[in-house]
């Protein structure tokens, strides 16, 4: 697991207790990076670390709530303490939020979605970027969504937050492009994760609803976490050395319609 292009490098993955975050942490470790696995879900995060170590990789877990700036700062400092710096980051932590029309959306729910899904990404970046610049650059991938590219009824806060992530990504990409730091976003379609299958739209509990959502994708299926992880790792790799400021849809063709 330590012979890939990321050997000797350090990656931070937020929201890595399950789903896309876990798959991406495993993928970074496969390429040789030491991975700081973070999440509010301690048991899930520790399980991700166990999986990485059993496969021969290097990882540590830290409980981090991205709505808490002190915890985000401590996250980056922990990576520095453990391995000397930060080279890659996948800012993935997020919540699904409530489902309601815009005029009925609860203000408290709105603020929480924005605080975690958008401001949380900014908090991560503001602490990750200085450490990456100390090492001459790096690569950041922010987790947006197809809902950062198109609208979706009854999810105004999530849609607004993910559009904001795309905009934030593009702004930062321009700021640091000449300093060796690339910043991109990945925009997953509906993926078979706990957020989609068990929470949120709860497609795991309704076969008809699952089929209806699958049909929104020209491939007529939902994606797998590993398919997003491969895109994230590619965006961080030397193979994507001329790619920055891009919002990559990995969505089975959802936004091509």
Active site members:
158
Run of H or E residues at 248: strand 247-250
Rounded Cα distance, 93 and 46, in Å: 16
Q: DSSP string spanning 126-180?
A: HHHHHHHHHTT-EEEEEE--GGGTS--TT-HHHHHHHHHHHHHHHHHHHHHGGGT
SS3 of 107, please?
helix
Give the 3-state secondary structure percentages of the chain, helix then strand then coil, rounded to 5.
Answer: 50, 15, 35
40 neighbors 63 (Cβ within 8 angstroms): yes
- Neighbouring-strand partners of residue 144: none
Find the helix or strand (DSSP H, E) in which 187 lies. strand 181-188
């Amino acid at each position: 697991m330590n012979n890939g292009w990321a050997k000797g490098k350090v990656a931070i993955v937020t929201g890595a207790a399950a789903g896309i975050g876990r798959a991406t942490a495993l993928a970074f470790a496969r390429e040789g990076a030491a991975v700081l696995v973070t999440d509010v879900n301690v048991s899930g995060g520790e399980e991700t670390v166990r999986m990485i170590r059993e496969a021969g990789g290097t990882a540590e877990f830290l409980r981090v709530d991205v709505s808490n700036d002190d915890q985000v700062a401590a996250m980056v400092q922990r990576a520095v303490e453990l391995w000397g710096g930060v080279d890659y980051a996948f800012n993935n932590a997020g919540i699904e939020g409530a489902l309601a029309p815009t005029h009925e959306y609860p203000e408290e729910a709105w603020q929480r979605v924005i605080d975690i899904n958008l401001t949380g990404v900014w908090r991560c970046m503001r602490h990750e970027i200085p450490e990456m610049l100390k090492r001459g650059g790096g690569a950041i991938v922010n987790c947006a969504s197809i809902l950062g590219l198109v609208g979706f009824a009854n999810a105004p806060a999530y849609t607004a937050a993910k559009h904001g992530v795309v905009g934030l990504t593009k702004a930062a990409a321009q700021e640091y492009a000449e300093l060796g730091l690339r910043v991109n976003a990945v925009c997953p379609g509906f993926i078979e994760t706990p957020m989609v299958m068990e929470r949120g739209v709860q497609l795991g509990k309704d076969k008809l609803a699952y089929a209806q959502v699958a049909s929104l994708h020209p491939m007529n299926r939902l994606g797998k976490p590993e398919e997003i992880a491969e895109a994230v790792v590619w965006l961080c790799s030397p193979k994507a050395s001329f790619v920055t400021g891009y919002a990559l849809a990995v969505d089975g063709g959802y936004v091509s319609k």
